[in-house]
Chain A
Amino acid sequence: MPVNKPITSQLNSLRTGPDERGHFGIHGGRFVAETLMPLMLELEKAYNHVKTDPQFQEELDYYLRHYVGRPSPLWHARRLSETLGGAQIYLKREELNHTGSHKLNNVMGQILLARRMGKTRIVAETGAGQHGVATATVCALFGLDCEIYMGATDVERQKPNVFRMHLLGAKVHPVTAGAGTLKDAMNEAMRDWVANVENTYFLVGTVAGPHPYPAMVRDFQSVIGTEAREQIQEQTGRLPDAVIAAIGGGSNAMGIFHPFLDDADVPLYGVEAAGLGLDSGKTAASIARGRPGVLHGNRTYLLQDEHGQITEAHSISAGLDYPGIGPEHSWLKDIGRVNYVSATDDQALDAFQTLTRLEGIIPALESAHAVAHAIVMASTMTRDQTIIVNLSGRGDKDVPTVAAHLGVKL
Chain B
Amino acid sequence: MSRIKTCFDRLKKEGRGALLPYLEAFDPDRETSLALLRQMPEAGADLIEVGVPFSDPSADGPTIQLAARRGLKAGATLKGTLELIQDFRRENDHTPIILMGYYNPIDSYGVERFCKDARSAGVDGLIVVDLPPEESEELAPHARAEGLDMITLTAPTTPDDRLKTILRKASGFVYHVSITGITGTRSATEEQLKAAMTRLRAATDLPVVAGFGISTPEQARTASRISDGAVVASAIIKEMAATYDEHGHATARSIPTALEKIRSLARAVRS
Contacts and interface: CB of A to CB of B under 8 A. Distances in A.
A295 B104 contact: yes
A29 B154 contact: no
Contact of B154 (A21, A34, A198, A309): A34
A197 interface: yes
Interface string B57-101: 111110001000000100001110000000000000000000000
A309 B105 contact: yes
Interface stretch (B37-45, B126-134, B214-222, B249-257): B126-134
Contacts of B131: 31
Nearest to A30: B134
A4 interface: no
B134 to A, nearest CB: 6
| Residue in A38, A297, A311 with the greatest tally of chain B CB atoms within 10 Å | A38
Interface string B171-207: 0000001001110011000000000000000000000
Chain A interface SS verdict (over half): mixed
Interface stretch (A139-147, A188-196, A350-358): A188-196
B103 A187 contact: no
A195 B185 contact: yes
Contact of B107 (A36, A190, A294): A294
Contact of A297 (B79, B130, B156, B157): B130
B6 interface: no
Contact of A308 (B60, B105, B132): B105
A119 B128 CA distance: 29
Contact of B132 (A34, A178, A186, A299): A34
A112 B255 CA distance: 53
Interface residues of B, number: 42
Given A31-B130, A31-B135, A33-B155, A307 B77 contact: yes
B271 interface: no
B162 interface: yes
Given A30-B132, A195-B180, A295-B104, A309 B157 contact: no
B130 A294 contact: yes
Interface string B104-127: 111111000000000000000000
A19 B56 CA distance: 27
A187 B56 CA distance: 7
A34 B162 CA distance: 11
B153 interface: yes
A311 B159 CA distance: 36
Nearest to B78: A307
B130 A308 contact: no
Contacts of B154: 34
Given A38-B159, A307-B79, A33 B104 contact: no
B55 A309 contact: yes
B127 to A, nearest CB: 11
Nearest to B162: A38
A71 interface: no
B70 to A, nearest CB: 13
Contacts of B162: 37-38
A403 interface: no
Contacts of B57: 187
B54 interface: yes
A39 interface: yes
A357 to B, nearest CB: 41
Given A33-B153, A35-B156, A293 B104 contact: yes
Nearest to B66: A177
Interface string A314-349: 000000000000000000000000000000000000
A289 interface: no
A183 interface: yes
Contact of B56 (A35, A183, A306): A183
A32 interface: yes
B108 A34 contact: no
A302 B56 CA distance: 13
Given A31-B103, A38-B158, A294-B104, 15 more contacts: A33-B130, A33-B132, A34-B153, A34-B166, A35-B180, A35-B181, A37-B155, A38-B159, A194-B180, A195-B185, A304-B108, A307-B79, A307-B109, A308-B105, A309-B104
What 7 A-B pairs are tightest by C-beta distance, nearest first? A308-B108, A308-B105, A195-B181, A35-B155, A34-B153, A307-B77, A187-B58
Interface of B: 54-61, 65, 72, 77-79, 102-109, 129-132, 134-135, 153-159, 162, 166, 177, 180-182, 185-186
Interface of A: 21, 29-39, 177-178, 183, 186-187, 190-191, 194-198, 293-297, 299, 302, 304, 306-311
8 contacts: A32-B130, A35-B59, A38-B158, A191-B61, A294-B130, A306-B108, A307-B79, A308-B109
